[in-house]
Amino acid sequence: GNSVTQMEGPVTLSEEAFLTINCTYTATGYPSLFWYVQYPGEGLQLLLKATKADDKGSNKGFEATYRKETTSFHLEKGSVQVSDSAVYFCALSKTGANNLFFGTGTRLTVIP
Amino acid sequence: NAGVTQTPKFQVLKTGQSMTLQCAQDMNHNSMYWYRQDPGMGLRLIYYSASEGTTDKGEVPNGYNVSRLNKREFSLRLESAAPSQTSVYFCASTREGTSDTGELFFGEGSRLTVL
């Protein structure tokens, strides 16, 4: 079946540190992959996406590369800010399926 | 620009009581969804509506019913609430289903506690 596995949190970093949140997936065929972010008290919002192998999604300084050989879509940011504190969800979508499959989420806290 | 609006934001129920969560979107989207979010389990799909007049079960539909009242509105009903339904509920919408762009637009959530 389709599933997404994210690294366990919570993750606490100092401001300007490098961030990696790991995400691996299980799916048949060629899914599209996404990172969503949930700020405190808000709903989820799309952060970035990649729809085919070797694509790199990027937004707000965050990047993730679709690696089919390792079935991974790790989220990275070179220098985190306090305002990046949030819960990050990896997700996948299959062509023809009317649903997103979400990972369990990783809480990031950035301290000054 | 309202986007996706959910009501109520907070609700406390006793076991066995019923209630309806309301959701409305103003983006002219065809597809709407109800998810629940539980600690350590991410988001799980309860029901979705691919278009006006259609609804389908998701991963965890038991204990819930839905109504796609019109293109804008998609309600979630708990007929007899149970403590296991304590959760945060999110409504979401998208233009033509997740296989299109994958971008779901979420409401702010409704926190439900069942005692």
Q: What is the pLDDT of residues B3-37, one digit of tens each?
A: 999 999 999 999 999 999 999 999 999 999 999 99
Chain B residue with Cα closest to A39 = B108
The strand pairing partners of A5, in sequence order, are A24
Contact A96 B99 (CB under 8 A): yes
Please judge whether B102 and A41 are an interchain contact, meaning their C-beta atoms are less than 8 angstroms apart. no
CB atoms closer than 10 angstroms to residue B105: 20
Mean pLDDT of B31-44: 90
Instruction: Kindly state the tokens that stand for A5.
Output: 């596995």
Which residue does chain A place closest to B103, by CA atoms?
Answer: A46
Tell whether the model's pLDDT for residue B98 goes beyond 80: no
Q: Which long-range contacts (CB under 8 A, 24 or more apart) does B66-70 make?
A: B66/B34, B68/B32
* Residue B41 pLDDT: 84
Spatial distance between the Cα atoms of A49 and B72, rounded to a whole number of angstroms = 26
CB within 8 Å of B62: residues ≥ 6 apart: none
Query: What was the pLDDT predicted at A21?
Result: 97
d(CA A14, CA A19): 10
Mutate which of B99, B108, B110, B111 to test chain A, going by most A C-beta atoms within 10 A? B99
> What does the alpha-carbon distance between residue B57 and residue B44 come to, in Å, rounded to a whole number?
11
Q: Quick: pLDDT tens for A2-38.
A: 889 998 889 999 999 999 999 999 988 888 999 999 9
Q: Mean pLDDT for chain A?
A: 92
Residue whose pair of structure tokens reads 């019923």 in the numeric block: B18
Closest Cα to residue A4, out of A76, A101, A107?
A101
**Is pLDDT of B99 > 80?**
no
Q: Which residues of B touch A41 (CB under 8 A)?
A: 108
CB count, 10 Å around CB of B93? 26
Q: CA-based Rg of chain A, rounded to a whole angstrom?
A: 13
For the ranges A24-33, A54-63, A93-102, B4-13, the lowest mean pLDDT is seen at: A93-102
Contact call for B103 and A46, based on CB within 8 A:
yes
Question: Above 70 in pLDDT, residue B79?
Answer: yes
Task: Say if the Cβ atoms of A43 and B109 lie within 8 Å.
Answer: yes
- N- to C-terminal Cα separation, chain B: 35
Q: What local confidence, expressed as pLDDT, does residue A100 receive?
A: 87
- Spatial distance between the Cα atoms of B112 and B115, rounded to a whole number of angstroms: 10
B31 shares contact with chain A (CB less than 8 Å): yes
| Chain A residue closest in CA terms to B33 | A99
pLDDT at residue B92, rounded to an integer: 94
Flag whether residue A111 sits within 8 Å of chain B, measured between CB atoms. no
Measured at the CA of A39, the angle between CA A38 and CA A41, to 5 degrees, comes to 105
Q: What is the pLDDT of residue B42?
A: 83
Sequence letter at residue A45? Q
φ and ψ at residue B83, rounded to 5 degrees: -55, -30
Q: Is B109 on the interface with A (CB under 8 A)?
A: yes
**Residue A89 near chain B (CB below 8 Å):** yes
- Does residue B60 surpass a pLDDT of 90? yes
Best of B10, B98, B108 to substitute, by most chain A Cβ atoms within 10 angstroms, is B98
- Bridge partners of A23, per DSSP, are A6
Considering just the CA atoms, what is the radius of gyration of chain B in Å?
A: 13
